[in-house]
Amino acid sequence: MQHKQTEQRFANDLNIVSLISVGKHPQSGRERRAEQDGRAVELGMSLNAENLTVLHAGDPQQNALRSYAGMGLNSIRVLEMDPAADAIAPLSSYLKQHSPDIVLAGVRAESGESSGMVPYQLAEQLGWPLVSRIADIISVEGGVAEILQALPRGQRRALKVRLPFVASVDNAAQEARQSAFGPASRAALDLQSTQSTTDVIRDEWSEAPARKRPKRLKKVKATTAAERFKAATAKAQSDGGKVMKNEPAAEQAQAIFDLLLEEGVLR
């Protein structure tokens, strides 16, 4: 796929940080450029290649960082720490100190805990809004960004968010451009030492490959070919749910409780 050559769509004064992690190839388990983090860098480069900081907290020797650099980065900033340590503290202190306008990250890491909590925790620590699963940033004007959020089945939701904010980048965003060996070899790694705390809880865990979760069978009640096609291709849509906006909090909580009981989550 040809990537859009839309570099620098905005004024140069926009400060963007793209957070990158070490990815893991699903077939070989080999370290690589993470899919979503690559998209976060791509989005950052297309917004403002000049003032983009690509930031990693972990081991600067990690080869996968080079494959991000190969996208044409002059440097990657690395907060040097034990890759197993918790990255939240060093990242948030870095971001507090540099106060960028936009922080982009993948939805979840491809290795490690892969909890998807990093953008949320950073947003909480910084006190900034978090926009989850964005597909694109359309414009930034007067301190307000117009964002497209990715929804299932190719749907998009247009949002307006005041700067600064943290956003997680969905798979629907522009694919990361090709990584080239020359620039990858030449990029500078800009090291900063940090105080990181060992993740005591994680130390006690043992890792094993995930088992495939059983899928709930879909009941197909289709009578026409078109319906069967839709049933086969459509992602399960949350039908049967209801939107409760104006009800009292107790009623809303009861509804959630009832659903959890019904689904067998609570017994």
Q: Indicate the residue among 56 and 177 with the shorter CB distance to other proteins.
A: 177
Our finding on whether 202 is near other proteins (CB under 8 A) is no
Q: Indicate the residue among 23 and 90 with the shorter CB distance to other proteins.
A: 23
CB of 3 vs other proteins, minimal distance in Å: 9
- Give dist(CA 192, CA 173) in Å, integer: 30
Query: Which region among 28-36, 222-230, 237-245, 251-259 touches other proteins (by CB under 8 A)?
Result: 28-36
CB of 21 vs other proteins, minimal distance in Å: 16
CB of 35 vs other proteins, minimal distance in Å: 10
Our finding on whether 72 is near other proteins (CB under 8 A) is yes
Our finding on whether 28 is near other proteins (CB under 8 A) is yes
Neighbours of 120 (CB within 10 A): 15
Determine which residue in the list 4, 7, 12, 25 makes contact with other proteins, applying CB under 8 A: 25
Our finding on whether 51 is near other proteins (CB under 8 A) is no
- Give dist(CA 193, CA 248) in Å, integer: 50
Our finding on whether 237 is near other proteins (CB under 8 A) is no
Q: Indicate the residue among 31 and 80 with the shorter CB distance to other proteins.
A: 31
Q: Where are the alpha helices (DSSP H) in 175-235?
A: 181-186, 200-203, 225-233
- Kindly write down the DSSP assignment for every residue of 121-189, as one continuous string: HHHHHHT--EEEEEEEEEEEETTEEEEEEE-GGG-EEEEEEESSEEEEEPTTSPPPPPP-HHHHHHPEE
SS3 state of residue 13: coil
Q: Indicate the residue among 186 and 202 with the shorter CB distance to other proteins.
A: 186
3-state helix, strand, coil in the chain (%, to 5): 30, 25, 45
Determine which residue in the list 54, 166, 177, 196 makes contact with other proteins, applying CB under 8 A: 177
Q: Are 8 and 48 in contact (CB under 8 A)?
A: yes
Of 75, 43, 78, which Cα lies nearest the Cα of 60? Answer: 78
Residues that bind other proteins (CB under 8 A): 2, 25, 27-28, 30, 32, 67, 70-72, 177-183, 185-186
